[in-house]
Amino acid sequence: MADFLNTSLSGLLTFQRALATTSHNVANVGTEGYNRQRVDLAAVPGVGSGGNIIGQGVEIASVSRVLDQFQVNQVRSNVAQQSRLDAFTQMSSSLDRLLASSDTGLSQPLQEFFNALQTVADTPASIPARQVALGQANALADRVQSLQQRLEAQNTEVTARMGAAVQKVNALAESVASLNTAIFEAGAANGGTPNDLMDQRDLVLQELSELVAVDVVTQNDGAVNIFVGSGQALVLGNQASRLTVINGDFGTATPELGLVSSAGVSTISVDGGEIGGLMNFRREMLDPSMNSLGQMAIALTETLNAQHSVGMDLQGNLGGDFFAVGEPQVLPRAQNTGSGDFSVAVTDVSNLTNADYLLAYDGANYTLTRRDTGTAVALAGSGTVGDPFVADGVSIVVNSAPAAGDQFLIRPTYGAAVGFGVQVTSPEGIAAAFPIRSAAELANTGTGAVVGEEVLDPANPNLLNTVTIEFIDPNNFSINGAGSFAYSPGGPIDINGWRLRIDGTPEAGDQFVVRSNAGGVGDNRNALELASVLERDVLAGGTTSVRESYGNLVSEVSTVTRRAEINLTAQNAITEQSINDQLAVSGVNLDEEAANMLRYQQAYQATAQLISVADVLFQTMLSAVRR
């Protein structure tokens, strides 16, 4: 009878606990991260009786979480990818609006400035037209600097958001380490099942995946280890390391992500999560956009200045620089041991790229590498003032040699827009005219005529001196009465920094006079050339204009942004589906729990009835003994 009673009692206690587990599931139907728990029953080993094995009831083998670890890992991976795309799309959409908008972009002020130059070409003597052109030039400079400042603000925002995300990562890492300890103390190493603590840890791990992609490895004692980047440990058992935003090898200009551990601070590169998306945005979109803006500012400045310098203003002065632009940056690596110093200048706009470069010295030779692609770039020259290194439109002069192993970050265009500004201070200072004018003498009898003038060297001290070209005969001419030079119809005649072309058949005694154009207020020849600068193919090997270059930048940013939006939409659907798949396995189903409750209740009642039967039998035995 004792065995019968104990067997019934085992069932009573087991189904009571099963009902408690079912009640726990129902109570947590709305709890985020809760995984349905299941009672696993096992028969109590029987004992021998008369050559037979008689069972002794039931017991709870385990209370386990119902989950598919593959699905859990899949959700974690999808959440990391979704957060990465979300952060990337948010920032790229903001950049797209900034560059494409007529209120913040460059397309409109560029066009308005060159339209104003065309108006000067139409009315070169008009002070109001010149004043408008100067005003539009300043408006363009303001817009370039404003756009640069907004891009720098985005750069600051990326760093700030990374810092905030890093703080969350560190708090979550500490939480995982604490939960590891609690799970271990709850007996997980000895087969215990602290399911609720494990659910909390899984929820923390999913929140962590929203910030950075993680690899999770479970230990035999129930603790988990977390690895980030290329295998660096963020959590090992009950010990958590920290992430931090640090200055990169080249200072504040290159912020990076660091891992703080007992061994010190090491730089890591992560992918996935919000931090990965922010780092991808800076590397793939923001830095190239800032470089492209500087590239266009340099191209516009160099081309317009070159044309303006060969002109003459209303006061009879040769044109100087119209715009100024920021200088290339050279940043030494923090670990350098030498005192190397370099002078970098843009020498060929047509070959200038929007890339940054890494210049390395091994003690004997210099190597140059594109920082965005890692591609080696050939260096021509020897690095001296007379023979500088030349690569991708940039010249590099070694002022003092570095130590072996030293590296330098060269940014030819990154800060160019910061220094972009107008150098012309008055409307009269716009050099709309050519500095020289030529004319055939009225007494000429031949058919010779001037067909072209060009200033080759505005710095030539004799540029404005009067020169008379007189033909000795139809095939030869003298200059200021001296010499005899062969005449070729349409061929160049180069003197004093200018070039003249005469076509036709002059006669002996015909003269052509070239003199200073001071006072030529109605001359618009240089203004016409200035107005054409926007359409000249000066970039990408002479195949792309400044206008096209900015249009290409806007188009590329828009395309990447749209692709990111499409990928984010798809990833949202994938993530939602993976979460639903996990909930289908692990989520609490009230219908199922109701059925379990009814089943366990009936089993409990049946077991209780067996105890009642045991009591009747016991009373019957007592009655028999009393007789």
pLDDT in tens, 191-203: 667 888 998 999 9
Average pLDDT across the chain, whole number: 91
DSSP state of 114: H
Residue 161: its pLDDT value, please?
95
Spatial CA neighbour of 512 closest among 447, 432, 433, 464: 447
Could you tell me if 322 and 306 are in contact, meaning their C-beta atoms sit under 8 angstroms apart?
no
The model's confidence at residue 178, banded by pLDDT at 50, 70 and 90, is: very high
Query: What end-to-end distance do the CA atoms of the chain give, in Å?
Result: 20
pLDDT digits (tens, 9 = 90+) for 553-600: 999 999 999 999 999 999 999 999 999 998 888 888 888 888 888 988
User: Please, which residues have CB within 8 angstroms of residue 268's CB and are 6 or more apart in sequence?
Assistant: 228, 229, 230, 232, 243, 257, 258, 259
- Distance in angstroms (rounded) separating the CA atoms of residues 103 and 279: 28
Residue 191: its pLDDT value, please?
66
- Distance in angstroms (rounded) separating the CA atoms of residues 585 and 420: 61
Q: Residue 599: count other Cβ atoms within 10 Å of its Cβ.
A: 14
- Distance in angstroms (rounded) separating the CA atoms of residues 161 and 168: 11
pLDDT digits (tens, 9 = 90+) for 526-558: 999 999 999 999 999 999 999 999 999 999 999
Residue 499: its pLDDT value, please?
95
The model's confidence at residue 3, banded by pLDDT at 50, 70 and 90, is: low
Could you tell me if 326 and 419 are in contact, meaning their C-beta atoms sit under 8 angstroms apart?
yes
Q: Given a cut of 90, is residue 520 above it in pLDDT? A: no
Could you tell me if 438 and 520 are in contact, meaning their C-beta atoms sit under 8 angstroms apart?
no
pLDDT digits (tens, 9 = 90+) for 132-155: 999 999 999 999 999 999 999 999
**pLDDT (mean) for 611-627:** 76
User: Please, which residues have CB within 8 angstroms of residue 456's CB and are 6 or more apart in sequence?
Assistant: 494, 497, 498, 499
Residue 2: its pLDDT value, please?
46
Could you tell me if 166 and 245 are in contact, meaning their C-beta atoms sit under 8 angstroms apart?
yes
Residue 508: its pLDDT value, please?
95
Count CA within 13 A, CB hemisphere, residue 369. 11
pLDDT digits (tens, 9 = 90+) for 29-67: 888 889 898 888 888 887 766 667 777 788 887 888 888
DSSP symbols for 204-261: HHHHHHTTS--EEEE-TTS-EEEEETTTEEEEETTEE-EEEEEEETTEEEEEEEEEEE
User: Could you tell me how many residues make up the chain?
Assistant: 627
Q: Given a cut of 60, is residue 18 above it in pLDDT? A: yes
The model's confidence at residue 1, banded by pLDDT at 50, 70 and 90, is: very low
Q: Given a cut of 80, is residue 618 above it in pLDDT? A: no
The model's confidence at residue 216, banded by pLDDT at 50, 70 and 90, is: very high
3-state secondary structure of 181: helix
Spatial CA neighbour of 414 closest among 541, 323, 286, 534: 286
User: Please, which residues have CB within 8 angstroms of residue 55's CB and are 6 or more apart in sequence?
Assistant: 7, 43, 44, 46
